[in-house]
Amino acid sequence: MAAGGENGKQSQRQAAMAVLAHSDAADIAGCLGALAVPSYEDLREPENGLVMVRGRIGGDGAPFNIGEATVSRAAVRLASGEVGFGYALGRDRQKARMIALCDALVQSNEFADAVEAKVLLPLRAAVVAARDRKARETAATRVDFYTLVRGEG
């Protein structure tokens, strides 16, 4: 039973990270402002670094290095002991810290529901709306090509 609960918590963290990674830092900050954030400490001060980006030809070919990407990372610990980790593409250290804070709060029994309702739900809606808007803009430029066969022999 504990393993099922642990898998559920892990899935919840993964879903939260997917939303936070695609959200704007200002949006995350605005949503966190609506929450009574508990005290926390930095385990790892936000810092910038590089990661190697790998790819595969055709999606299933041999892996190769495409290049490097800048990443920011941070780690925080809540006063209650939960540890959160945050990573963000680019050089946005504050976004990495906010993601780490949200990760720790999602693990907390006391704050998990509030984070879902006040932070993740609005951010998820914004990400889906942006994705839908982009899909509509792309669909508007779609061109259908067809072949006209003449009846002449």
Please report the beta strands in 29-149, taking only residues with DSSP state E, as ranges in sequence order.
40-56, 63-78, 83-89
Residues with Cβ within 8 Å of residue 46, at least 6 apart in sequence: 72, 73, 74, 93, 94, 96, 97
Dist CA 122 CA 73 (whole Å): 23
pLDDT at 1: 41
Place of tokens 């055709």: 58
pLDDT at 18: 93
Per-residue pLDDT of the chain (153 residues), as tens digits, is 445 567 878 888 999 999 999 999 999 999 999 999 999 999 999 999 999 999 998 878 899 999 999 999 999 999 999 999 999 999 999 999 999 999 999 999 999 999 999 999 999 999 999 999 999 998 888 877 776 666 665
pTM, 2 dp? 0.82
pLDDT at 16: 94
* Cα dihedral sign, 24-30-34-40: positive
pLDDT at 131: 92
Domain boundaries, the chain: 2-123
pLDDT at 2: 46
pLDDT at 149: 66
3-state helix, strand, coil in the chain (%, to 5): 50, 25, 25
